Structure 1
Amino acid sequence: MKPKELIRTSLSHESFTISKHKLPRFLNVWHYHQELELIYIKKSTGTKFIGDSIERFSAGDLVLVGSCLPHLWLNDKIYFERKDLITEAWVIHFHPHCFGERFFNIPEMHKIFKVMEDAKVGIRINGVNKEKIIERMEKIFFESDFDKVMSLLHIMKLIEGEPDKTSLSSHSFINAYTKNSSTKLDKVYEFVLNNFKQEINLNQTAELVHMNPSAFSRYFKQTTNKTFVQFLNEVRIGYACKILLDEDDKNVSEIAFECGYNNLSNFNKQFKLITGKTPRAYLTSHRQADLMVND
């Protein structure tokens, strides 16, 4: 079930698109696009697949999906059976370079750029700014062109300032990770992403950045809010999810070995810890989604 790229080209006189969708069902395609997607679910229920995250969604959900992140909003079965039900969503699509290639790279936009980078794994917005964002989204449909631009920037500022945000997919699902100004972390990320299929230990990683293992462990935890072992397991399990979805001819043992695990029980344990499902249950969930999409 490889994701399909959708081309969401804006009109020549628009730098980004805003839309209200009222349909019997949402678009039932496992897909990705260059544009970021801010979506507010006004009316609907179902399961959202964002990267390797699988969660329920319902009215009131507000999510920012990053550029090139595969996703699918799959309505509950009742929406496929009844013709009197309607889904409703408000959506903003904007390309990372919608205001020019360097606009979000200027110092004043640093925090907004950070949000766009974080969104590469998907962000669910939960807290005090959520209602303010929804109110601004509602107004943007009736604003002038200039005010629409200001509103989009204001919305992104509200997302950046929201303390209650939840990352959805693992950072490794599309081999994307949050950029950090630390050269040390850049080296560690690059090393892990290039070598996670092999045995990696704390000592060799610490040596890479010229630190002793204890100091490196403290530094990594303080900087990323997770242990190095947690990060390594996320990378490996994120890659395992991709293999499960893309390569039907491999069994779980083969996938575990390919992802750097020599112990199948440990692989199964880590997979469930990170995704909330066993490998087979995870695959079944996606296959059921695929069958419903193609009904």
Structure 2
Amino acid sequence: MKIQKEIIEFEKDKSFKLFSPSLKNCFFWHYHPEIELVYVEASKGIRHVGKDISSFVDSDLLLIGSNVPHLNFDYGIQTECKQLVLQMRENFLHDLILSIPEFETIKKLLEKSHLGLSFSGKTKQTVVEKLHSIKDKNTFESLIGLMEILQILAHSTEVKELNSEDTRIKWFLNDKIRMGTIYSYIHENYDKKPNVNEIAQTVSLSTPAFCRYFKKQTNMTFTDFVNNYRINQAQIFLLKDYSVTEVCFHVGFESLSYFNKLFKHHTGKTPSEFKKKHLSNIVESI
């Protein structure tokens, strides 16, 4: 579960690549020096960018800066999933953007991308349309299209910063290796009873020290994080048409009423409401 450095290869004489990867069943926690723009379309998924671990519904558009650790966004998705990933060469910012005054706003956007930026609304819709349109264009036209996309993102107000501090790999590599062990433990035990004393011992910390460390890394207590993970997994199982009761016990809750209450707190809907809405959307799209 250690974080991996992804080696990205580009075609000769191309500054970026645009493709549609599929790693649904692979937990690929990685980083790379290339700045990345990701669009993922699915009924429900999890995003893990830097320290931020949150969920998205329907779709997400993210700009991820150089050397920011992130999980593949199709991980664990059991329904139909579409992805577009655009990766820019490591020297893209330095060679093309920095030297041109007219690109000042784009420069600021790319410099801020180390926080992980999620775009919504009209911005997301317009950018996704342009991503599809540049797929089949020649090299020069596609580059111009990319600059237009970056300009749109740079001027957008429909943006959320996922992290409040620098989470690039050089800043917290050792901590993230330890977090990989913790994340693996939670993933393997969320449906049972994850034991804070057991995982603290695994990463060679006392329980109080582990709790302080975990809260600093995730801005959540261990219990809150596990429950958040359970709710994310519950949404995936609901979309596979399990009953609410089945899902409740399948993800490790012992009380149906508590599961319903916590689910609504996290998603704004009861499990039944969530299932009805999103399963009907899936049926309508078929």
Q: Bin the TM-score by the shorter chain.
A: 0.5 to 0.7
Which segment drifts farther, 102-111 or 150-159? 102-111
The structure that is helix-richer by fraction is 2
1:219-234 alignment, distance < 5 Å: none
Cα separation, partners in 2 of 1:145 and 1:77, compared to 1, 3 Å: closer
Task: State the SS of the aligned residue for 1:7.
Answer: coil
Q: 1:37 maps to which residue?
A: 36
Q: Retained in 2: the 8 A contact 1:53–1:170? A: no
TM-score of the superposition, structure 2-length normalised? 0.62
Kindly provide the amino acid, as one letter, of the partner of residue 250 in structure 1.
L
Unaligned ranges ≥5, structure 2: 182-202, 233-286
CA distance in 2, matches of 1:162, 1:168: 16
Task: State the SS of the aligned residue for 1:61.
Answer: strand
Instruction: Report how far residue 241 of structure 1 moved.
Output: 6.6
**Identity across matched positions, percent:** 23
Output one character per residue of 1:217-273: Cα deviation in whole Å (capped at 9) or x when no partner: xxxxxxxxxxxxxxxxxxxxx89974851671123533577x7xxxxxxx95xx59x
Cα separation, partners in 2 of 1:133 and 1:252, compared to 1, 3 Å: farther
| Aligned Cα root-mean-square deviation (Å) | 3.6
Cα separation, partners in 2 of 1:146 and 1:2, compared to 1, 3 Å: same
Instruction: Report how far residue 44 of structure 1 moved.
Output: 5.1
Task: State the SS of the aligned residue for 1:163.
Answer: coil
Choose from 75, 96, 117 the match for 1:123.
117
Instruction: Report how far residue 94 of structure 1 moved.
Output: 0.6
Q: Retained in 2: the 8 A contact 1:173–1:239? A: no
CA distance in 2, matches of 1:40, 1:93: 12
Instruction: Report how far residue 168 of structure 1 moved.
Output: 0.8
Kindly provide the amino acid, as one letter, of the partner of residue 169 in structure 1.
N
CA distance in 2, matches of 1:251, 1:240: 18
Answering whether residue 160 of structure 2 is matched by residue 166 of structure 1, we say yes
CA distance in 1, matches of 2:90, 2:103: 12
CA distance in 2, matches of 1:8, 1:175: 17
CA distance in 2, matches of 1:240, 1:153: 36
Unaligned ranges ≥5, structure 1: 80-84, 177-192, 194-237, 260-266, 290-295
Task: State the SS of the aligned residue for 1:11.
Answer: coil
Q: 1:212 maps to which residue?
A: none
Task: State the SS of the aligned residue for 1:143.
Answer: coil
Deviation >6 Å, runs of 4+ = 238-241, 283-287
CA distance in 2, matches of 1:140, 1:278: 44
Cα separation, partners in 2 of 1:170 and 1:280, compared to 1, 3 Å: farther
Cα separation, partners in 2 of 1:157 and 1:251, compared to 1, 3 Å: farther
Task: State the SS of the aligned residue for 1:154.
Answer: helix
CA distance in 2, matches of 1:6, 1:15: 17
1:233-248 alignment, distance < 5 Å: 242=176, 245=179, 248=203
Kindly provide the amino acid, as one letter, of the partner of residue 64 in structure 1.
L
1:68-87 alignment, distance < 5 Å: 68-73=67-72, 75=74, 77=76, 79=78, 85-87=79-81
